[in-house]
Structure 1
Amino acid sequence: MQMIDYKDFDKIELRVGTIVRAEPFEKARKPAYKIWVDLGEELGVKKSSAQVTTHYTPEDLIGKQVVCVCNFVPKQIADFMSEILITGFESEEGGIVLTTVEREVPNGAKLH
């Protein structure tokens, strides 16, 4: 594991947002969803492609607060521009379990 100092961590914009729309991403090479996340007034709604089909349906995702990396360079995936990275952890069964918050917090709140 590479060690970093706080200045490195502080460069990463980890913010919370609420999923407002999700749909199957038919053109993705691996099973994925197109997801729209409301990141509050400052950042607005951002798009992401997420391979979270093992544990979630699009309907499960609506209203869920998730932790996102908001300052990666946008990435073109097929015909969709992914603007943020929705974070998660791999489960024992495989597939990604989304990183969420214990209690509801304002959209756009930064992780400290």
Structure 2
Amino acid sequence: MQTIDYKDFDKIELRVGTIVRVEPFEKARKPAYKIWVDLGKEIGVKKSSAQVTVHYHREDLIGRQVVCVCNFAPRQIADFMSEILITGFESSEEGIVLTSVERKVPNGAKLH
């Protein structure tokens, strides 16, 4: 594993947000959702494509707080522009388990 300096870590904008909208993403190559996340007043609502269909139904995602990388360059995925990266971990069932917070925190709060 490569080590990094704290300056490198500090460049990454890891923020918490609340999922406010979820739609199926039929044009994605692998099963995925189009997800809109409210990241607070400073950042606003941003969208992402996420391959989280193994462990989550659309209706279960609404209201869930997730940890996002907010300062990656936007990425075109099929006909959808992904503006943030919603983080997660691979599970033993090969699906992604979302990174979340233990307690509710304000949308847009930065990970330290």
Task: Please state which band the TM-score falls in when normalised by the shorter chain.
Answer: over 0.9
Distance 1:6 1:68 in 2: 19
How does 1:1-112 map onto structure 2 within 5 Å?
Answer: 1-112=1-112
C-alpha deviation, 1:93, in angstroms: 1.4
C-alpha deviation, 1:69, in angstroms: 0.1
The alignment of Structure 1 onto Structure 2 pairs a total of residues equal to 112
Give the residue type in structure 2 aligned to 1:25: F
Runs of 4+ in structure 1 off by over 4 angstroms are none
Distance 1:87 1:100 in 2: 9
Give the residue type in structure 1 aligned to 2:42: E
Distance 1:27 1:17 in 2: 25
TM-score by length of 1: 0.99
Unmatched 5+ residue regions in structure 2? none
TM-score by length of 2: 0.99
Counterpart secondary structure, 2:23 = strand
C-alpha deviation, 1:82, in angstroms: 0.1
